[in-house]
């Protein structure tokens, strides 16, 4: 069920539990303010999620409330993941589903990094 990006942060969400070490993940990159790990249900040969360590529901929430160091770290982490996974070598796609209409299912900001194959059109009509 998609979540409402204006809802208060719920510390029981799956990615908060991964950040606390309560659930495992396949780590790709750890930085001061961000964590990247493989998506559990990959939709492309490369499918990595990048999340901030801070408690932000969505891109909307993060862009309004995060500090400049958190934002810089997160943006750099996304780029670093694309380079580390070699997604950047042939082109890749970033996706941040945001809120109900955006199809966001986990209520902790995450950017999907897709690559490793031709990704087709941006959205199906
Ligand atoms: P979204 O629809 O943008 O909220 O995407 C949520 C993503 O989280 C989906 O691609 C799921 O496959 C992924 N996901 C859910 N649980 C886990 C988990 N425990 N570890 C890694 N990825 C997960």
Say if residues 63 and 79 touch (Cβ distance below 8 Å): no
Residue 114: both structure tokens together: 């897709």
Ligand 1 nearest-atom number relative to CA 96:
3
Mutate-to-test residue for ligand 1 from 17, 23, 41, 62, highest number of ligand atoms within 8 A of CB: 41
CA 58, distance to chain mean position in Å, is 10
**Model pLDDT, residue 124:** 84
**Predicted confidence (pLDDT) per residue in 48-81, tens digit:** 999 999 999 999 999 999 999 999 999 999 999 9
From the candidates 47, 108, 110, 112, give the one annotated as an active-site residue. 110
Please tell me whether residue 51 adopts helix, strand or coil conformation: strand
pLDDT at 61: 94
Q: Ligand 1, from 15, 57, 111: best to mutate by most atoms within 8 Å of Cβ?
A: 15
Please give the Cα distance from 82 to 91 (Å, whole number): 9
Residue 22 is predicted with a pLDDT of 98
Ligand 1, pocket residues at CB < 6 Å = 14, 23, 25, 39-41, 49, 97, 103-106
DSSP E strands, 53-110: 92-95
pTM of structure:
0.97
> Which domains are seen in the chain, by residue range?
14-115 (3.30.428.10)
Catalytic site includes residue 112:
no
pLDDT per residue as tens, the chain (125 positions) = 888 878 889 999 999 999 999 999 999 999 999 999 999 999 999 999 999 999 999 999 999 999 999 999 999 999 999 999 999 999 999 999 999 999 999 999 999 999 999 999 999 88
Closest CA to 18 of 2, 40, 3, 1: 40
Q: What is the pLDDT of residue 1?
A: 83
For ligand 1, the distance from its centroid to the CA atom of residue 2, given in whole angstroms, is: 12
pLDDT, residue 3, reads 85
């Amino acid at each position: 069920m998609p979540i409402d990006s204006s809802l208060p942060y719920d510390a029981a969400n799956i990615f908060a539990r991964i950040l606390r070490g309560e659930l495992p993940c396949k780590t790709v990159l750890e930085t001061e303010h961000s964590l990247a790990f493989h998506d559990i249900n990959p939709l492309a040969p490369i499918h990595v999620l990048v999340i901030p360590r801070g408690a932000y529901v969505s891109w909307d929430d993060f862009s309004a409330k995060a500090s400049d160091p958190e934002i810089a770290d997160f943006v750099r982490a996304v780029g670093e993941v694309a380079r580390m996974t070699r997604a950047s070598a042939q082109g890749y796609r970033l996706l941040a589903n945001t809120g109900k209409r955006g199809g966001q299912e986990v209520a902790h900001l995450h950017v999907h990094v897709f690559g490793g194959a031709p990704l087709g059109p941006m959205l199906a009509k």
